[in-house]
Amino acid sequence: MDYSKFFRAALNRLHDERRYRVFADLERIAGRFPHAVWHSPKGPRNVVIWCSNDYLGMGQHPKVVGAMVETATRVGTGAGGTRNIAGTHHPLVQLEQELADLHGKQASLLFTSGYVSNQTGISTIAKLIPDCLILSDALNHNSMIEGVRQAGCERQIFRHNDMAHLEELLIAAGPDRPKLIACESLYSMDGDVAPLAKICDLAEKYGAMTYVDEVHAVGMYGPRGGGIAERDGVMHRIDVLEGTLAKAFGCLGGYIAGSAEIIDSVRSYAPGFIFTTALPPAICSAATAAIRHLKASNWERERHQDRAARVKAILNAAGLPVMSNETHIVPLFVGDPEKCKQASDMLLEEHGIYIQPINYPTVAKGTERLRITPSPYHDDGLVDRLAEALLQVWDRLGLPLKQQSLAAE
């Protein structure tokens, strides 16, 4: 049997659909964010990163790097075991306390990634509720979809952020059926925000539990970086908040926060928590340092919003098709997978600007885009150079600019 032909065919399908992924080999330089070295096929080159999820540059913050180095030097590298067998170390326990405090919850639970926290968190919670019906937003992240799927219970999808549709489904389910609403607070590809207060109203009215993914908001929104729920004053009304340590906090790991009973139950039943080695102490200490810093410092959050607004203003003024939203994400519409990839390649090779193309299945076909994520460290000069490079690329590829009347809006 020629097994290799199956894999060749699988890869060819991706090439044919123009969605075969090519990774950029990058080397970040601590203290110089967003500048980095790209190890191109022709050798190393300096580039500016415009699509990192290290949104606030905390992955290179001296306090965070310092905490990681100090802890590794003091206690070593690995955790040495699963949480149950020798792997529960002090920096991890402190981090869980820090996260519970961040979200105003009784407890929190760490996982090796945000992906795992959703996958095993949602499925375990739903499995512990007899006859649970999951109501899931249509644009939920793959990690949530997998969690819902693994729960094995009935699920219904409500149209993205459509509260009338969600209410319809809640009414149809009836008051006695246990219901779990699962959604994100900030959707990272469009940069739009869920109406969390309204979702809490509906959950309370119809007796549903709420699970909210704040991965793209923790650290960046709310007076202490608690996310959109903190900003909107509804943190205490949401049953389970989920977040990552890998984006605005610049490290690695995921978590859920909630009541002591929910957290203790997931701790006791979730396979994706139980049967895997705990996060290393150095990562936990670094994450704690990032969270503590962002609880007290507003500089990063304010500058982050200022930079995002600046990028949107400059690109809009140039007539580039910015997809509008009120957050820090700047999606630039392309609408074609091949051109999206070409635009990205030209930016990198000719302008030293790195923006990964976002194609299907991450976004719907026909909505391919460049997703730009300004950080506090992208200064005016870099923004101007980005706009000039994009205009040249748009011209070369024959991509449309907005009408002058629209551009002036």
Catalytic residue among 105, 247, 312, 339: 247
For residues 351 and 401, give the distance between their C-alpha atoms in angstroms, rounded to a whole number.
20
113 belongs to the binding site for ligand PLP (CB under 6 A): yes
Instruction: Return the residues of window 241-280 that contact ligand PLP according to CB under 6 A.
Output: 244, 246, 254
Choose the binding region for ligand PLP from 27-35, 160-168, 209-217, 360-368 (rule: CB under 6 A): 209-217
Distance in Å, CB of 225 to ligand PLP, minimum: 16
Residue 115 binds ligand PLP (CB under 6 A) = yes
191, two tokens: 């940069």
Shortest reach from residue 140's CB to ligand PLP, in Å: 8
Q: Does 213 bind ligand PLP (CB under 6 A)?
A: yes
The question of whether 247 is a catalytic residue gets the answer: yes
Which range in 112-120, 231-239, 322-330, 350-358 contacts ligand PLP by CB under 6 A?
112-120
Whether 383 contacts 311, CB under 8 Å: yes
For residue 140, what are its two tokens? 């939920």
User: Which residue is listed with tokens 């449309």?
Assistant: 400
Q: Which is nearer to ligand PLP, 254 or 342 (CB)?
A: 254
Q: Return the residues of window 218-247 that contact ligand PLP according to CB under 6 A.
A: 244, 246
Query: According to the binding rule CB under 6 A, does residue 327 interact with ligand PLP?
Result: no
DSSP-derived pairing of the beta strands 208-213 and 154-158: unpaired
Q: Which is nearer to ligand PLP, 117 or 342 (CB)?
A: 117
Residue nearest to ligand PLP (CB): 114
Binding test (CB under 6 A) with ligand PLP, winner from 188, 285, 367, 373: 188
- Among residues 213 and 368, whose Cβ is nearest to ligand PLP? 213
Nearest distance from residue 117's CB to ligand PLP, in Å?
8
Shortest CB 406 distance to ligand PLP, Å:
30
Cβ closest to ligand PLP, residue 118 vs residue 316:
118
**What's the closest the beta carbon of residue 174 comes to ligand PLP, in angstroms?**
30
How far is 180 from 148, CA to CA, in rounded Å? 10
Q: Please give the backbone phi and psi of residue 120, each rounded to the nearest 5 degrees, phi first.
A: -85, -30
Q: Within 13 Å, how many C-alpha atoms sit on residue 331's CB side?
A: 20
Give the whole-angstrom CA distance, residue 247 versus residue 355: 17
- Give the residue with the Cβ less far from ligand PLP, 215 or 308: 215
- Whole-number minimum distance, CB 200 to ligand PLP, in Å? 19
- In this structure, are strands 254-258 and 107-111 parallel, antiparallel, or unpaired? antiparallel
- Residue 301, H or E segment: helix 299-317
Query: How far apart, in Å, do the first and last CA atoms of the chain sit?
Result: 62
Alpha-carbon distance 221 to 55, whole Å? 12
* Cross-sheet strand order for the sheet of 208-213: 107-111, 254-258, 240-244, 208-213, 179-184, 133-137, 154-158
Q: What is the residue-wise DSSP string for 103-160?
A: TT-SEEEEES-HHHHHHHHHHHHHHTSTT-EEEEETT--HHHHHHHHHH-SEEEEEPT
Q: Does 328 bind ligand PLP (CB under 6 A)?
A: no
**Eight-class DSSP state of 153:** S
List residues with catalytic annotation.
Answer: 247
Binding footprint of ligand PLP on the chain (CB under 6 A):
113-115, 118, 141, 143, 184, 188, 213, 215-216, 244, 246, 254
